[in-house]
Amino acid sequence: MTLPEQKGTVLLIVEDDRDMRSLLCDEFWGTGYQLREARDGDEAFLSVLQSVPDLILTDLRMPAGGDDYVSRLRTVAPHCPIVVITGFGDAALKARVLRAGANAYFDKPVRIADLKACVQQLLGLSTRTKES
């Protein structure tokens, strides 16, 4: 699935695992989004304080992350969609994260097509796609 170009739309990808962060960046590279990266929650907060992105795609279990991470993000980016991806989740964690303000929650391994569709929907983009 190829997302339509959206010049000027900024995605912040927050992931402490370098390989996973690279994979996510590779998947969204060339889609027209501007990509910013953060290695942990502290870098994410600094990035958001400098300029709020259009969407935050974030891991949960990482340095300066944790169960209250989403609610802390909400304080600095109250209207920014937040998509959480975690490899350590369960139904109770999912419920807490969504109550804290996440717009979407995915368990790892995540289907990239589902993730892209979610990002597209949260950004209010057309559901039409271009075939490569």
pTM comes to 0.86
Give yes or no for residue 112 having a pLDDT over 70.
Answer: yes
Between residues 67 and 82, the one the model is more confident about:
82
Which pLDDT band holds residue 66 (cuts at 50, 70, 90)? confident
Position 7 scores a pLDDT of 57
pLDDT tens per residue across span 5-48: 445 899 999 999 999 999 999 999 877 889 999 999 999 999 99
Domain boundaries, given as residue ranges, for the chain:
10-122
10-122: CATH architecture: 3-Layer(aba) Sandwich (3.40)
Position 30 scores a pLDDT of 78
Give the strands of the sheet with 55-59, arranged side by side. Answer: 34-38, 10-14, 55-59, 82-86, 104-107
Q: Tell me: cis bond preceding 4? Omega within 30 of 0 counts.
A: no
Give yes or no for residue 130 having a pLDDT over 90.
Answer: no
Position 132 scores a pLDDT of 32
**What is the token pair recorded at 53?**
């992105």
